[in-house]
Structure 1
Amino acid sequence: MKHDCHYHPNTAAKWHCGGCQLHYCTACMPDADTRRKQGLCPHCGQQMRYLGAATEVVPFWNRIPEFFRYPFRADSLLVIAICTFVPMLVDPNVFGLIISVILLLALFKYTYAIVTHTAAGHMTPPPLSMAFSGAGAGVVVQQLLVFILMGGLIYSAGLVGGPVLAMLAVAFLVLALPASMMILAMEQSVGPAVNPLHLTSLISRIGWPYFVLYGHLILMMLVSGAIQDFAFSQFPAIVAQPLSGFVSSSFLLIFFHMMGYLLFQYQEELGFASDLQDQEAPPEPNRALRVDADLDMSLKDGQYDKALTLVKAALKRDPSNPMRLEQLYRLLWAMNDGTELYRNHPRLLLWLADRRDAVELGKMLQLLEQQEPGFRLDDPALTVSCARLMYREGEHRTVLRLLQDFHKRFPDNEHIAPAYLLVAQSLTQGMAQWEKATAFLNFIKKRCPDHPLSEQMDGFLQQAANHEPLQGPPETTRAQFSLDPASGA
């Protein structure tokens, strides 16, 4: 049964909390251990039930091409080749017969390993060793016992109810044969594999897809028989026999893979959970992803105070994280929390200046002015960075307000020269106040004679005398006088 994530509709859920009755997807549970099927509910902290891949697995009838490619992987192809061609190479004596029987048992053992391997989430064949090792060999003997017991059930039905009941028993057991094989492969027990209640329960839980599987079984049997008839009628026995054996073995592996996939697809209905295993190992839990998931859920639940607490806690661990600063900024604006914006303005302004976001920087400066009329920044480097960004946007009055009395607020600071050059440029380009601009240029020349910008003052003064906008130093020179806080210039 498909369940969608409570917080991400149309996304398949992987976890379910019985206490909260909520479903979560992988994005909501980035720190869960899917290998061990362990995960704690982000709301109540209880252990959750892992749903596996059942909610997102592709229906088996949509994977028919993949099923028919399955036998032609390295391991499965080797098993088919060994079990098909080796018996043809041995002498037709007792020793050869023993080898042929052993290889036949190995092939059947491998098919049952395919069922459990696929049901566990492996879409590639089991390793070659699964066919020829001693482990799991008992399933072949158990399958033989199942067939004997089924024959006994049919005989008993005939004794009790006559031919009619015997035919009904045959019809039921033939229909339930794939279910019996699936139960035997998963439980390694003869009793459940012949118990009519177990067989009926499995079929009813899977529903109509079971009959689709059964239809594929009939079709593959017919196709396999047709290929064998064609081979023996058109080719000599030395060619027809291995060809017939290869085709029969391939179809056998395909069908058992389909049975395992059907179990994998309906794992929730059958009471177990598994996930796709033939992938890279999941990365180590990332605390940042856990914070993102909790933040996303808090916002969707309307718990903005909780979201703010999460972001602040994350910033304590990593104060300069730009993603967390953006989350803090967006959240505070959404909450219309001017007080918190003012309290966090130093790092938020620095973040906005670093990302060259003049529009948001202007909004932030307006809010700070509203919160504190006559507001002034305490960081000289940040002040110059903000002023330069606003200058590029043509916000010349904002530049003048930011840099007002800069030399008094930050005496002997290394940023005085670039700060007052920005003031002079704003006065000429935005307001045509040439005399005031000239006064600031002369101040730089007198106050900061050792600053590299002083060498440019004569050129700036000449531009101001000609009532020309101050163009600034060439780009190659300007790079030496970066106004970013980290530059120290």
Structure 2
Amino acid sequence: MNNTAAGQCRYHSDQSTRWYCRDCDLPLCTTCKPYADQLPQDVPCPLCQQPMDDIAVGDPFWCNPKPFVVYPLDRNHLIMMAVLATSVAVLASGLFSLLAIVAATAILIRVCFVVIERSSLGHVRAPSLTELADPDNLSHNLQFALTILIAAVPVGLGWIAETVLMWLILVPVAALLPAMLMAVVIDGNARAALDYRRITAIVRAIGAAYGVLAGACALLALATTIGLWLLGFVLPGWLLAGLAMLAWSYLGLLTARLIGHCLHQFRRQLEFGPALDRVTRHVLPQAEVHEPARALADASIQAIEGDVRQARLTIGEALVRHSENDDLNRYFDDLILESEDQKKYRNHMERRLRRLVARDQPGAAADLWLSNRKNLEGWLPRIAETRHHMALALEQRGHPKVAIKLLLRLPKTDPRYSHLPEACLEAARMLEQHLDDREQATTLRDWVLKRYPQRAEHWYEQRRQDAADSNQAPVNPAFQA
């Protein structure tokens, strides 16, 4: 493993590395990749978008094969293999030869199942006799044995028909067997091993690593079969039987360890609950929670590394799905502002304000405009509808002069804006109420009464009704005439 990967996070020196990109030499912690350990998917590098290594589960088995090769040589395993091989060799020519082979195979299957189960949970130590005798998982063990029996049937039929045919069948069966056994361990029944959709999903989730695993299993099975076939010409039957049991025991334990390791390494992609529960509480967060958080973290790293354009794209893609997320919008505002393109920044703010008003959030639009007023350099929203609703919200927030300014600058001939009379009457009310400018207020009212008398009457009627409901005096009692 790269030394950098084993050290500290590049952006949080007080946290250790959890995710590592070999191509970018980028070590990241769980803060840089929020919710990543809870999601059943690859964790992409924020810079190159390639899947990152999960440091918590170690390297792929082919990077350091020695621990896997010597795993079957544990003392308990060696004793078991010696006993099984001796039993089969001694009884190979007797009446109990078939019974000995069946019993030895059943014991080997049991041990392999326990090895897979323990390895999938992250254990690297060989199982003890107590763990092998644990009756809690015997039902799953039977499903596991049934799957191996199903896989052995075509190989046996090929051997009966022709030796070459058996070898041709052995290779694809050995390549598919790991996925079949994984399906049994994950789902707990043999039917999953025969479901091609389940097998396909497992292969896709593991990706290229499954190709290496399947190739290794197929080559080992083929090499063992050919070796035993050649030895059959020179060795007596009893010795060949014992040697075959020894070889298949070693191969079975090695394969079981590799399968368990892959289950543990790709536990998130496979949504393998037992392994996930052991590492972290596996509660899948809602998309509206984890997607914005991940986008913000990735965009922050991209911006730090100087790729501001990619950071904007990352936040923009997240905003397509979560347009109301305040954190995403605020960070996107900052990214646009840092581009030093005033026109682009104003166009962005125009869209933001319009969306807020359209969602009946004029107060949020007013707050956004006020907080960015300095950066906008006196700019006002171009869309009349946005100005109108923002002005009412600004008045409530104690900015009547700004509100009046917005209303007075509304276009008087915009055919797309149908609330101009009401906006002018609101401006007249504010002029009279806040600035005591009765002359300009009267001019505005006269203009509205002359062009939109019915709309003006309706507006004043609504105001009188609102005042009556709140036990206040009407705003413009002089209009009673």
The TM-score, its normalising length taken from structure 1, stands at 0.46
The TM-score, its normalising length taken from structure 2, stands at 0.46
